[in-house]
Amino acid sequence: MKIDRITCRVVDFPLDREFHPAWARGRNQPNLLMVLIEVDTDDGLTGIGAAHAGLEAAVTIERFVAPYFIGQDPMHVESLVPVLRDTEILGAPVYCMETTLWDIVGKAAGLPVARLWGGYSDRVIAYCATAEVRSPAQRVEDVKRMLDEGYRAVKFRFHLPDPLEDLKVVEAVRAAVGCACGGSRNLSPATTTTGCAASATGWTRSRSPAARTTTACTSSSC
């Protein structure tokens, strides 16, 4: 099995209100950029992944990753990952392209990747991730709404100048809804790392009311 084509789409979703991410103080983020990637093989399998990134990720992989991936066996993940690690010095989240390789491995084996890695459960707790810095009262209101929507876990974002003020948010939420170790409604902390990157050659742009999409052409000779 060989990789014979890599396709990338950069999707730009406008947000309907101001968004001030906790990881970028003072910044209003007007949109959400996502890179969607498909890695096709000569056996007809396609690995799919995505990353919170823009054109810089696609261009970086086009120039520094795709030339090494085209023609390689996607099942040899361990031999391809060093290419991604070497490219990370450029700053773009190219490491996330590894997800597309594991997607192909799982499809070739006919098993979920989690099962290939030794996992035994086919269920995970869905959690709701917060993104903005909020006051204790606002966060309590947020968490109550999330629990009403069926979530059993919440991921908090903390970036206040004084860490003691961050702790007040946790204390307020626990007092209002309980915590994983007790309380009338269980609430457990959650953390995660997600994403994957994409590459392609050539770009065209299309627009729609819901999202602006930059689509890369497909190529067998990146």
- Provide the pLDDT for residue 183: 34
| Cα distances (Å, whole numbers) of residue 57 to 40, 77, 93 | 19, 20, 6
Nearest to 99 by CA among 85, 123, 125, 81: 81
**Which range is least confidently modeled, 14-23, 183-192, 193-202?**
193-202
Q: How large is the average pLDDT for residues 93-114?
A: 93
- Provide the pLDDT for residue 179: 61
Instruction: Quote the mean pLDDT of the chain.
Output: 79
- Measured over the CA atoms of residue 104, residue 110, residue 115 and residue 116, the dihedral's sign is negative
Q: What is the C-alpha to C-alpha distance for residues 8 and 50, in angstroms, rounded to an integer?
A: 9
E strand or H helix at 9:
strand 3-14
Q: Is 70 exceeded by the pLDDT of residue 107?
A: yes
Q: How large is the average pLDDT for residues 80-85?
A: 92
Q: What is the C-alpha to C-alpha distance for residues 166 and 130, in angstroms, rounded to an integer?
A: 14
Taking only Cα atoms into account, the Rg of the chain, rounded to an integer number of angstroms, comes to 20
Q: How large is the average pLDDT for residues 36-61?
A: 91
CA angle 106, 110, 112 (to 5 degrees): 50
**Which range is least confidently modeled, 58-72, 88-102, 201-215?**
201-215
pLDDT band at residue 112 using 50, 70 and 90 as cut-offs:
very high
- Provide the pLDDT for residue 43: 94
Q: Is 60 exceeded by the pLDDT of residue 200?
A: no
